[in-house]
Amino acid sequence: MSIATRTAFGEELLALGKEQTNVVALDADLRGSTKTGAFAKAFPERAFNVGISEQDLVATAAGLAVAGKKAFACSFATFLTGRAYDQIRTSVAVSEKAVVLVGTHAGILTGEDGATHQSLEDIGLMRALPNMVVLHPADAEETKACVRYAAACEHPVYLRLGRANVPIVYEAGTKFEIGKVKKITDGNDITIFATGPLVASAIAAAKLMEDDKIGVKVVDVTCISPLDIDGVLREIVDAKLVVTAEDHSINNGLGSAIAEVMAEHGAPAKLHRIGMRRFGESGSTGDLYHKYGFDAEGVEASLRKFWDERK
């Protein structure tokens, strides 16, 4: 079974809206895509569609925060974090307004729309802001926990979501500690830190390697900033090799964040980064994940290659 994280977001936002009257949602003509439609239908007086104007979207959300509202400003990740970066930086981050920025259609998971619509730089843009909490859930259940975490957070939050369905990783009712890394499988040879849809691929890859006695520890990094440094160091103590995996540029995303921690703490293991090294392109999500090595077989092939090359 698989569900898109944006779909889970829409459901949880509706539930949150029923419980908390200070929750408002803003869109920039992409309500159908960001899945805020159900919230807007249930609470029309708390839902605003500012049209195709992302700068206005973000700064208006900041104003609603000034007036005491918990504002969710939603658009495609690339329009939101790219087009409105200065509004995010000035009116939200520098201003310490606890707005929740929801960027859907992150990564090549976006599929057919192609490079212009596949956000591969947003994690880097957002984690450069000192007080921005950057969340990238692996599946529907974790997305719901992130929505709750964001709603209660006193800092600005960037919630990175995807268009296409992704496999269920966590059972309903799973307890999450958002902000901490989460070990999913045990293994003493390779530690792979994965985020978003790559978590499911990493888990599947680890299974495929069980027979060859290569122990792969899969760690879900949901909160990329601030990063759980102690957790990262703990999970690489015995690792002979460390790998990161993300549907994002290898620059400034999870791979860079892990590299910084390892370098600053003198971690002895070698690090490899799985991610994008170019802009994306059109194609089905399945074809793109296969071509760029983001599906289970692709991650497995990378891990085996890194393992074989380790000496």
Partner 1 sequence: MNANLPHLAAQVRIDALKMIFAAQSGHPGSSFSTVEILATLFFGGFLKFDPKNPHWDGRDYFIMSKGHGCPALYAVLGELGYFSKDEFFNLRQVDSLLQGHPETFIPGVEIASGPLGQGMSVSNGIALGLKIDGKPNKVFSLHGDGELQEGNIWEAAMTAAKYKIDNYVAIVDHNTLQIDGTCEEIKSLGDIAAKFRAFDWETIEIDGHDFAQIEGALTQAIAVVGKPVCIVAHTVKGKGVSFMENQVSWHGVAPNETEFEAAMKELTDQFDRTK
Residues that bind partner 1 (CB under 8 A): 24, 45-46, 48, 50-51, 53, 55-56, 58-69, 71, 86-87, 89-91, 94-97
Q: Which residues contact 195 (CB under 8 A, 6 or more apart)?
A: 136, 138, 220, 221, 222, 224, 245, 246, 248, 254
- Which residue, 63 or 286, has its beta carbon nearer to partner 1? 63
Least distance between partner 1 and beta carbon 73 (Å): 10
Least distance between partner 1 and beta carbon 54 (Å): 9
- Which residue, 62 or 206, has its beta carbon nearer to partner 1? 62
Cα(291)–Cα(69) distance, rounded to whole angstroms? 43
Per-residue b/e over 142-175, b at no fewer than 16 CB within 10 Å?
bbbbbbbbbbebebbbbbbbbbbbbbbbbeeeee
- Which residue, 59 or 146, has its beta carbon nearer to partner 1? 59
DSSP string, 53-90: -HHHHHHHHHHHHHTT-EEEEEEEHHIIIIITHHHIII
Contact 274, 246 (CB under 8 A): yes
Least distance between partner 1 and beta carbon 4 (Å): 29
Least distance between partner 1 and beta carbon 51 (Å): 7
- Which residue, 90 or 174, has its beta carbon nearer to partner 1? 90
Least distance between partner 1 and beta carbon 71 (Å): 7
- Which residue, 156 or 187, has its beta carbon nearer to partner 1? 156
**Sign of the torsion formed by the C-alpha atoms of 255, 129, 77 and 42:** positive
